[in-house]
């Protein structure tokens, strides 16, 4: 019961702090962000945030975003179902500029604050022909995916340490140097 209260408190603190970290001009819509144990056709086969050393081999991270193709974010009027920056929503400011290049940085951090893995990746949204239309606006979808090994290092994904501590880990995702999402998972023996 104490662990559940601790997790709820941590989640509430992180959600309360998100407006401070969000950019007024983030220029994208955050969709589904999760950890999972496997992928099927590029999508999470499950969503789990409890990983057991004896049962799992990897921890996979999946974050799905829609980036505007032009000035779509500035023109969206009904935002009741969109995950947008709360500051922008309540202040009425909506002056977005269209960027084509994005830098993603993904940091996996242990319960004691050690960086387990860090991967940086750049993406040009013009490199894909995929489009999503929503409310007659066009967006470019992008899924940032990274994974680490539980018992073996996966160096090509930026992993320098194993997640050998028990407890609550967090993954920070930065887009263009600004915090975009925090995701939690727990390691168990």
In 3D space, the residue among 186, 179, 130, 188 whose CA is nearest the CA of residue 14 turns out to be 179
For the chain, state the CA radius of gyration: 17
Domains in the chain, ordered, with CATH? 2-188 (2.60.40.3880)
pLDDT at site 80: 47
For residue 149, the surrounding DSSP H or E stretch is strand 137-149
Dihedral angle computed from the Cα positions of residues 51, 55, 59 and 60, in that order, rounded to the nearest 10 degrees: -110
Which backbone phi and psi does 88 adopt, to 5 degrees? -65, -40
Beta bridge partners of 128: none
Per-10-residue mean pLDDT, the chain, length 189: 53 45 62 94 93 96 90 46 51 55 94 97 89 89 96 97 97 94 96
pLDDT at site 137: 86
pLDDT at site 13: 44
pLDDT at site 136: 84
Sequence-ordered list of residues with C-beta below 8 angstroms from that of 74, at least 6 positions apart, any chain: 94, 95, 96
Question: For the whole model, what pTM was predicted?
Answer: 0.72
């Amino acid at each position: 019961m104490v662990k559940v209260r601790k997790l709820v408190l941590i989640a509430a603190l992180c959600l309360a702090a998100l407006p401070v970290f969000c950019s007024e001009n983030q220029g994208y819509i955050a969709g589904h962000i999760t950890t999972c144990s496997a992928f099927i056709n590029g999508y999470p086969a499950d969503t789990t945030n409890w990983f057991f050393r004896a049962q799992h081999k990897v921890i996979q991270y999946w974050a799905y975003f829609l980036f505007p193709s032009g000035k779509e974010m500035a023109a969206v009027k009904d935002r009741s179902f969109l995950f947008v920056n709360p500051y922008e929503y309540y202040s009425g400011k909506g002056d977005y500029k269209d960027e084509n290049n994005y830098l993603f940085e993904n940091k996996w951090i242990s319960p004691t604050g050690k960086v387990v893995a860090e991967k940086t990746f750049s993406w040009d949204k013009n490199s894909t022909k995929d489009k999503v239309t929503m409310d007659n606006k066009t967006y470019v979808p992008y899924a940032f995916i990274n994974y680490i090994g539980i018992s073996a290092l996966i160096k090509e994904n930026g992993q320098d340490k194993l997640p050998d501590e028990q407890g609550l880990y967090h993954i920070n995702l930065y887009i263009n140097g600004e915090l975009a999402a925090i995701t939690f998972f727990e390691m168990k023996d």
